[in-house]
């Protein structure tokens, strides 16, 4: 099946065009916008890891290596579209308009971290695997019934394709031809399980056949390929033609979370097949005359200042109230949960 779903690329690992059809479609504005957002979210990601190691942030899910997939897809959205992220797609939500301070608050255990700007429709991060996929299909169906041109994107990892929610969401979206893009970031591992041990399919894109929708494989480290293929999928959806499944083949450099040790189950041999997406874009910019040292230093300083200001804002908040864990689960707290709350408060000496 792999030959039926070739990996689409626009630039190669050394930053040269491999698809001449896009030479006229890529301009300085797009190049610098992609690069700026990729630098911005990587700066955030590295800072978040440092904060977690210092005890200033809770367990954190890093995404370094997946910047092209997240930025390229997020920049293809319209302002009124819906985003349904996993716990690892804060790079995409930051690109789409969520604030850094709010994102830090999420990883610091505060409910405020789930809030989004009034002008953006971003669902809270889904920690249960694949549960956001039917939600995205439902939101897209609602937009279709309202007669808008708004669409939705559902982000998920390769492990999510083994969940029932994945199949239910794709089936529903296909039957009702709703405007949604299912965006998979395939980094080869569902936590510690390699992809060949959790599915017999050679690709994730081929799973689209069962649901009668287009399936695309794209180089997830090629920001241009991700951007244009996602844009194409959204055009398809907005035209009333229904969903598309995109498989972005990528590689995450770090651990599944800061509580994980990938050296226990993963070798770096496979990583040799992937060139850092930022390095690849830098090479492209230098090859085609877009690189500017002064501009590059300026955006690095700008993003560093933004991150530090967001950390300062996050740390002004008081510690989260442990009672929130109990008080905001049910409209009326059941007896069992009330008993757990009482016991925990007693443990804290607050009974």
Catalytic residue among 37, 42, 88, 256: 256
Does residue 42 carry a catalytic annotation?
no
Which residues, at least 6 apart from 240, have a Cβ–Cβ distance to it below 8 Å?
177, 179
Burial of residue 12, with CB atoms counted within 10 A of its CB: 0-12 exposed, 13-18 middle, 19 or more buried: middle
User: What is the CB neighbour count within 10 angstroms for residue 345?
Assistant: 14
Does residue 167 carry a catalytic annotation?
no
| Cβ proximity of 306 and 100 under 8 Å | yes
Classify strands 215-219 and 82-84 as parallel, antiparallel or unpaired: unpaired
Catalytic residue among 40, 88, 252, 280: 252
Q: Measure Cα distances from 313 to 104, 228, 254 in Å.
A: 9, 36, 27
Backbone angles phi, psi at 189, to 5 degrees: -140, 135
Does residue 265 carry a catalytic annotation?
yes
Catalytic residue among 53, 265, 270, 330: 265
Residue 261, classed as helix, strand or coil, is coil
**What is the DSSP track for 212-250?**
TS-EEEEETT-HHHHHHHHHHHHHHIIIII--EEEEEE-
Which residue numbers are catalytic? 252, 256, 265
């Amino acid at each position: 099946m792999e030959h039926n779903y070739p990996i689409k690329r626009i630039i190669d690992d050394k930053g040269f065009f491999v698809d001449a059809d896009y030479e006229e479609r890529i301009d300085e504005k797009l190049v610098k916008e992609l690069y700026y957002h990729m630098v911005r979210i990587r700066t955030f990601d590295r800072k978040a890891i440092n904060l977690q190691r210092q005890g200033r942030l809770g367990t954190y899910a890093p995404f370094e290596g997946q910047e092209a997939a997240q930025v390229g897809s997020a920049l293809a959205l319209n302002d009124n579209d819906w985003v349904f992220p996993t716990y690892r797609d804060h790079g995409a939500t930051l690109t789409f308009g969520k604030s850094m301070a709010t994102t830090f608050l999420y990883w610091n255990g505060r409910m405020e971290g789930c809030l989004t700007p009034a002008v953006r429709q971003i669902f809270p991060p889904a920690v249960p695997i694949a549960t956001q996929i039917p939600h995205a299909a439902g939101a897209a169906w609602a937009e279709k019934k309202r007669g808008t041109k708004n669409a939705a994107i559902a982000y998920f990892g390769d492990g999510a394709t083994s969940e029932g929610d994945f199949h239910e969401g794709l089936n529903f979206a296909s039957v009702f031809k709703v405007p949604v893009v299912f965006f998979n970031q395939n980094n080869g591992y569902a936590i510690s399980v390699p992809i060949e041990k959790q599915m017999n399919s050679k690709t994730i894109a081929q799973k689209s056949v069962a649901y009668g929708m287009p399936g695309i494989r794209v180089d997830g480290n090629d920001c241009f390929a991700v951007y244009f293929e996602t844009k194409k999928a959204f055009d398809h959806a907005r035209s009333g033609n229904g969903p598309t499944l995109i498989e972005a083949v990528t590689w995450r450099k770090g651990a599944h979370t800061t509580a994980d040790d990938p050296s226990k189950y993963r070798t770096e041999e496979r990583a040799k097949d992937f060139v850092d997406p930022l390095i690849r874009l830098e090479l492209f910019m230098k090859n085609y005359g877009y690189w500017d040292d002064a501009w590059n230093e300026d955006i690095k300083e700008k993003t560093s200042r933004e991150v530090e200001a967001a950390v300062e804002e996050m740390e002004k908040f008081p510690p989260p109230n442990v009672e929130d864990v109990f008080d905001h689960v049910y409209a009326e707290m059941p007896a069992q949960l009330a008993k757990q709350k009482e016991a925990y408060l007693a443990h804290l000496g607050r009974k």
